[in-house]
Amino acid sequence: MVKSHSISSQNVVLLHPKSIGVKKGLDIIFEDDHIVVVNKYAGMLTIPDRYSPDKANLHQLLSKKFEEIFVVHRLDKETSGILLFAKSASAHKQFSSLFSERQIKKFYLTVVDGQPYEDTATIDKPIAPTPNHKDRMRIDKRGKESITKYQVLQRFKDFSLLEVEILTGRTHQIRVHLESEGIPLAADPLYSRRQALFAADIKGRKFKGKANKEIRPLISRSILHAWRLEFEHPITKENVKVEASIPKDIRAVISQLEKWNLPN
């Protein structure tokens, strides 16, 4: 079971994943005079699409609400979870510097196929684009430095629940690194053997489908959630932890795993 994190110091401000407001796809979980933190839905773009600028995206939605808004970092379209935006050019510069200097800790939640050898590990492998495949990345010694840490939160018979921290921010970093270790995301259209995860994948022989009834997947996207950010606010100087509640599709997967896929 995924447990909430405790506050170890009185000067740590834990911003709980309780939305300030959800309207037309905009889920703001924290806001102060300098930043806005949003829980992005899977399938929502961070910025306008290059070829289809009219598609809904968080920058567009926030621009309608705030006088100025600046993108500090991004998530893949299918990844859910925390995104931080700045309200001014000054705040944008300071938070962008924190990200580039690795002063903001970024934690993700995922379910992978199989069992990691160790409960905690660091993956240090350079990543580069795959030739003749613009949408796919790969491990390449000529690529950019890429460092990922993971911790096993729960082991199941055929799967594992991981908390993943990225020390660099390369495209598809978590997906590429975990696949390279033989523990790909349990569902991922690019780096896994499954595009979606079904109850039958978890239950195995215990699964009994109903005749003439459409079988829907538990999750039909890359099973990856940007779970938590930790940083010292460069303006208020408070130590902050921000968490984004686990989305319904990933909670459904974890629930089924705990019910049907526990180790013998």
**Averaged pLDDT, groups of 10, the chain, 264 residues long:** 38 45 70 94 87 82 91 92 96 94 95 96 97 90 96 96 96 96 96 92 71 76 96 93 94 95 86
pLDDT of residue 9: 31
* Whole-number Å distance between alpha carbons of 250 and 147: 25
Q: Which CATH class is domain 12-260?
A: alpha beta
| pLDDT score recorded for residue 1 | 53
**SS3 at position 205:** helix
β-bridge partners, 35? 86
Q: Is 201 a catalytic residue?
A: no
- Domain positions in the chain are 12-260
Catalytic, out of 32, 33, 76, 249: 76
* Matching residue, tokens 């990345």: 137
Alpha helices in 29-75 (DSSP H): 58-65
pLDDT (0 to 100) of residue 221? 94
Place of tokens 């961070």: 46
